Structure 1
Amino acid sequence: MASMSDVIEQFIKDLVSRSDGVAEIRRNELANIFHCVPSQINYVIATRFNAQHGFLIESKRGGGGYIKIHQIQISKGNHFMHFMQCIGHTLSGRDAGLMIQNLYDYEYITEREAKMLVAAVSDQVLILEQPQRDAVRAEILKNILLSLVE
């Protein structure tokens, strides 16, 4: 069963896709729809709709406040370079999974390729101690991204 955060994330993604890449939401209204506290909405937006995931957030506080979510439209090569910069010297398994999901969502890789990438950078395969495990994972994913751009 999907978590509340997963359900909220999918709802917002659907709004963005139906609205040509830009969706405006009101935090309290969304919290009422999902019967949750507004901070849950903040958490989902902060962790799942940031630049690393291909989104830009604009917000206005106050009585008529809103949160506007823009899906960033950039070329394939620039998108890969953006991913490369986000990876850095280390990469957790969770963050690697999110990046791979993003590559799949943007249709840069197939579902089969995404599954292979997840397997290649999983903790079960990278039998190393931290921080070496995250460093090796980062290098593997960077090299794979470079091979996709060429």
Structure 2
Amino acid sequence: MRNISDIIEKYIKEVLDSSDIDIIKLKRSELAEKFQCVPSQINYVLKTRFSIERGYVVESKRGGGGYIQVVKVRPVTDADLIDEMMRIIGYKITENMADSIIVHLLEEEVISDREARLMLSAIDQGVNDLDIPIRDEMRANLLKAMLLSLTYSR
């Protein structure tokens, strides 16, 4: 059984896919009512499933006529996407952010399912049994090295 976050994510992606211009405006309260959940659940889905690492920009306008605007960012080329992900990584990265980057690359078909699984294994917290600051730096270095190899292999 899928959880409510998965269902909300799927719905928003379907609405985006049906849009001609990769931009949609949603009302948080209407979504919460539709899925019979609290508005903070919508916030959670937007924050975790529609981040820049996953290829989305979310803007929120508060107030009576407030809305949430979700924009699907589409890079011109695979190389552009890889360059943007390299900028996002910086000198350290959490496992969740790294996972999001890999999922985004997979969804954009820059990497195969097999490559994604290998990359996820390499950056897994259990594999890199180090203290947090060093582990996040090591993860960033590993992910950058993998992304660099993708730019030269295509």
The 3 A distance-change label for structure 1 pair 62 and 129 is: closer
Tell me the percent identity.
41
Once residues 19 and 121 of structure 1 are traced to their aligned partners in structure 2, the CA distance between those partners, rounded to angstroms, is 35
Alpha-carbon shift at residue 91 of structure 1 (Å):
1.5
Residue of structure 2 equivalent to 1:3: 3
What residue in structure 2 maps to residue 88 of structure 1?
90
| Residue matched to 1:22 | 23
CA distance in 2, matches of 1:22, 1:85: 24
Worse-matched range after superposition: 70-79 or 45-54 = 45-54
Which string of whole-angstrom CA distances, capped at 9 and with x for unpartnered residues, describes residues 52-96 of structure 1? 321122333333332221101212222111111111111122221
Q: CA RMSD in A?
A: 1.7
User: Under a length normalisation based on structure 2, what TM-score does the superposition of the two structures give?
Assistant: 0.87
- Confirm whether residue 55 of structure 1 aligns to residue 76 of structure 2: no
Deviation at 1:147, TM superposition (A): 1.2
Aligned to 1:124, the other structure's residue is in SS state coil
CA deviation map 1:13-50 (0-9, x unaligned): 22112213222211111001111111221222233223
TM-score normalised to structure 1 length? 0.89
SS at match of 1:24: strand
Structure 2: gaps of 5 or more residues: none
CA distance in 1, matches of 2:136, 2:53: 18
Task: Letter of the 2:39 partner, please give it.
Answer: P
Of 105, 112, 123, the match for 1:110: 112
Comparing 38-47 with 116-125, greater Cα deviation is found at 38-47
1:86-138 Cα distance to aligned partner (Å, 9 max, x none): 11111122221111111101110111111111111112221222221111111
For 1:132, give the aligned amino acid: I
Distance 1:27 1:105 in 2: 25
Q: May I ask how many residue pairs the two structures share in their alignment?
A: 150
